[in-house]
Copies of this chain bind each other. A is one copy, B any other.
Amino acid sequence: MADHMGGSGTGGGEQLLFLTDDQLRRGIEAMFFAYRGFTADPDRILNERGYGRAHHRAVHFISRSPGTTVNNLLGILGVTKQSLNRVLRTLVDDGLVESRVGSHDRRERHLFLTEDGLELERHLSEAQRGRMRAAYREAGPEAVAGFRLVLEQIMDPDLRRHFKTLKEGQ
């Protein structure tokens, strides 16, 4: 099924797709169930250490962009500073994150993972990558390309900007 003309080019605009509500509904349910699996392994690890998903997100993006500022993180995570601050405070108090006053602009705080923070990040991301790796292997390389392409289209434009910045940038 679904072998009309191919054309897997990235920039391609509309193609002749007949998408029934039922097909779309299956995609929606797939997203729902898959996201549960996607977060299941990290959730277990976090739970053991008394953290939640919010801590994972902070740790992930600090690891991804060491020295990032609070404001930048707020843009990526899309939460209020109060929410983020509560999470960051516990991470700093627990010695997983270091917050350094900016040298250029001393209002800013630059965030870094400590050794312990890096250890947790490795643990979490290894678990999550393990599942993704297994899924990718089962599905095959073409499926993976499609997977990423569709996900990118589902994003809100400003989040896609963040995503692409992370993708390309350093």
Select from chain B the residue with minimum beta-carbon distance to A148.
B30
Within 8 A of B (CB), among A119-158: 125, 128-129, 131-156
Q: How many copies does the complex hold?
A: 2
What are the 5 closest A-B residue pairs judged by CB atoms, nearest first?
Answer: A146-B146, A143-B146, A135-B153, A147-B150, A34-B151
Chain B residue at smallest Cβ distance from A1: B145
Evaluate contact between B21 and A129: CB separation under 8 angstroms.
yes
Asked whether, in the complex, the Cβ of B27 is within 8 Å of the Cβ of A159, the reply is no
User: Which of chain B's residues have a CB closer than 8 A to the CB of A145?
Assistant: 2, 143, 146
* Complex Cα–Cα for A8 and B166 (A): 29
**Which residues of chain B are near A27, meaning CB under 8 Å?**
132, 136, 144, 147-148
A residues whose Cβ falls under 8 Å from a Cβ of B: 2, 4, 6-9, 12-15, 17, 19, 21, 24-38, 40, 57, 64, 78, 125, 128-129, 131-156, 159-160, 162-163, 166-167
Contact present for A36 and B129 (CB under 8 Å): no
- Bound-complex Cα distance A31 to B160 (A): 11
A31 lies within 8 A of B24 (CB): no
A117 nearest CB across to chain B (Å): 17
- CB of B150 within 8 A of CB of A28, answer no
- Bound CA–CA A125/B23 (angstroms): 13
Q: What chain B residues lie within 8 Å of A32 (beta carbons)?
A: 57
